[in-house]
């Protein structure tokens, strides 16, 4: 699968002052609770590893994914050998239910994403999937602190919520025919240490021409995927309570959203729902150029620019340049929050 090239390079901008993710460890107590509906979390390095493991158990099946996406959620599906097809979403990231009813067939799978932390209309999607016997894979990469899951199976990306950690979860639900197979596939993943050692050895052999690295991905390196122990993850997730992270992120979101909504050139892309723990503040801007102002100010705003080349929906292609993600994580200092707001206010209408 091919992805469109990025629109801009990070090298064209000054050093980052405000990071997109939390990085500072604070003192706190371990209190990570699995969402309601989960039976077990299998700890892995990345959300893409979890998606790869799920897709491997679905080999040759069709998995439907949203037209607007980050390549890291699509590539692992493709690399695992499933047939990836795309469904449309609207500007609020709501799935086109009519389309799903017409096109997604029994025994296929659908990847539903809680874009930027929002539930969107995934409850409706879950109902359609249940009714039509479609496997619902819930992507909680942006909603890792949600209190309930609605998919048959889910993935998180803890990296996006906890400081200084590369970790994710493959979450098994209460009822899913693949739970046992997934458990087995997980058991075969190497540990972090073993994976490092194996990769070093493989790289040396590959240099000598004795073997080839297996990885075919750009965003997903299948040669280094590994599992993690609870101990390896616990230290980072115990640094601040989930409630504190939620309150800080919500307060930052509200504070930034107020300033965004006062501008004629920008609007917040989805509301802060009840109990939602936001990943970022998604903002539609009026031109691609607005993004640069944040990067020039040292703010690590993000955009999904690398959409699959087979997507030709002009609305989606427009979102590549005009939907930006501003940080609202728990580490933001008053000064950093102020820099974000001033960078919005300082731009001409």
Ligand X SMILES: Cc1ncc(COP(=O)(O)O)c(C=O)c1O
Q: Which residues make up the interface to ligand X (CB under 6 A)? A: 46-48, 70, 72-73, 113, 139, 141-142, 157, 159, 168
Q: Are strands 266-268 and 280-285 parallel, antiparallel or unpaired?
A: antiparallel
Residue 303 CB, nearest distance to ligand X (Å)? Answer: 12
CB-wise, 139 or 331, nearer to ligand X? 139
CB of 146 to ligand X, least distance (A): 13
Closer CB to ligand X, residue 141 or residue 301?
141
For ligand X, the closer of residues 93 and 343 by Cβ is 93
Compare residues 168 and 257 and give the one whose CB is closer to ligand X. Answer: 168
Measured from the CB atom, the residue of 56 and 159 that comes closer to ligand X is 159
- Whichever of 72 and 339 has its CB closer to ligand X, that residue is 72
Q: How far is the CB of 21 from ligand X (least distance, A)?
A: 10
- Give min distance, CB of 260 to ligand X, in A: 21
Closest CA to 269 of 318, 338, 334, 335: 318
Contacts of 171 (CB under 8 A, 6+ apart): 34, 35, 38, 40, 41, 42, 140, 149, 153, 154, 155, 156
The H or E element that residue 342 is part of is helix 334-345
Distance CA 297, CA 83 (A): 42
Which of 57, 325 has the CB closer to ligand X?
325
| 83-87 and 62-66 strand pairing | parallel
75 versus 331: smaller Cβ distance to ligand X: 75
Q: Are 81 and 62 in contact (CB under 8 A)?
A: no
Radius of gyration for the chain, computed over Cα atoms and rounded to the nearest angstrom = 20
Could you tell me the smallest distance in angstroms from the CB atom of residue 218 to ligand X? Answer: 13
Phi, then psi, of 56 in degrees rounded to 5: -60, -35
Report the nearest approach of ligand X to the CB of residue 113 (Å). 5
DSSP single-letter state for residue 59: T
Task: Output the six-digit token pair for 326.
Answer: 């501003």
Residue nearest ligand X (C-beta atom): 47
CA nearest 49: which of 173, 228, 177?
228
Cβ contacts of 317 within 8 Å, gap of 6 or more: 307, 311
| Residue 42: CB minimum distance to ligand X, A | 14
CB of 68 to ligand X, least distance (A): 10
Q: Which of 343, 65, 61, 78 is nearest to 222 (CA)?
A: 78
| Strand 153-156, strand 168-173: pairing | antiparallel
Min. distance of Cβ 44 from ligand X in angstroms? 9
CB 311 within 8 A of CB 317: yes
As a whole number of angstroms, the distance between CA 338 and CA 101 comes to 46
Alpha helices, DSSP H, located in 26-96: 47-57, 71-79
How many residues in total does the chain contain? 349
Of the pair 172, 344, the CB lying nearest ligand X is at: 172
């Amino acid at each position: 699968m091919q992805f469109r090239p990025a629109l801009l390079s990070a090298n064209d901008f000054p050093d980052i002052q405000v990071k997109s993710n939390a990085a500072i460890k604070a003192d706190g107590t371990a209190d990570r609770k699995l969402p309601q509906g989960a039976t077990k979390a299998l700890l892995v390095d990345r959300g893409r590893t979890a998606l790869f493991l799920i897709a491997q158990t679905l080999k040759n099946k069709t998995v439907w994914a949203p037209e607007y996406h980050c390549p890291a959620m699509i590539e692992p599906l493709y690399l695992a050998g499933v047939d990836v097809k795309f469904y449309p979403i609207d500007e609020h990231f709501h799935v086109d239910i009519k389309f799903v009813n017409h096109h997604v067939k029994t025994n296929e799978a659908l990847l539903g994403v809680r874009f930027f932390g929002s539930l969107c209309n995934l409850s409706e999607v879950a109902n359609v999937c249940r009714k039509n016997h479609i496997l619902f894979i819930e992507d909680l990469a942006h909603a890792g602190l949600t209190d309930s899951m609605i998919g048959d199976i889910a993935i998180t990306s803890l990296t996006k919520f906890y400081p200084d950690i590369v970790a994710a979860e493959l979450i098994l639900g209460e009822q899913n025919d693949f739970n046992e197979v997934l458990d087995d596939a997980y058991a075969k993943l190497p540990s972090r240490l073993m994976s490092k050692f194996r990769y070093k050895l493989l790289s040396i052999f590959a240099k000598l021409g004795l073997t080839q690295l297996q990885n075919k991905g750009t965003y997903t390196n299948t040669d280094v995927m590994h599992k993690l122990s609870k101990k390896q993850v616990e230290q980072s997730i115990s640094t601040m309570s989930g409630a504190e992270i939620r309150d800080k992120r919500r307060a930052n979101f509200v504070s930034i959203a107020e300033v965004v909504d006062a501008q004629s050139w920008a609007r917040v892309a989805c509301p802060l729902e009840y109990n939602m723990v936001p990943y970022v503040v998604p903002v539609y801007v009026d031109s691609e150029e607005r993004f640069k102002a944040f990067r020039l100010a040292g703010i690590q705003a993000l955009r999904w620019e690398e959409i699959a080349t087979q997507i030709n929906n002009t609305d989606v292609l427009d979102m590549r340049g005009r939907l930006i993600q501003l940080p609202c994580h728990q580490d933001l200092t008053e000064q950093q929050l102020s820099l974000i707001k001033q960078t919005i206010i300082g731009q001409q209408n």
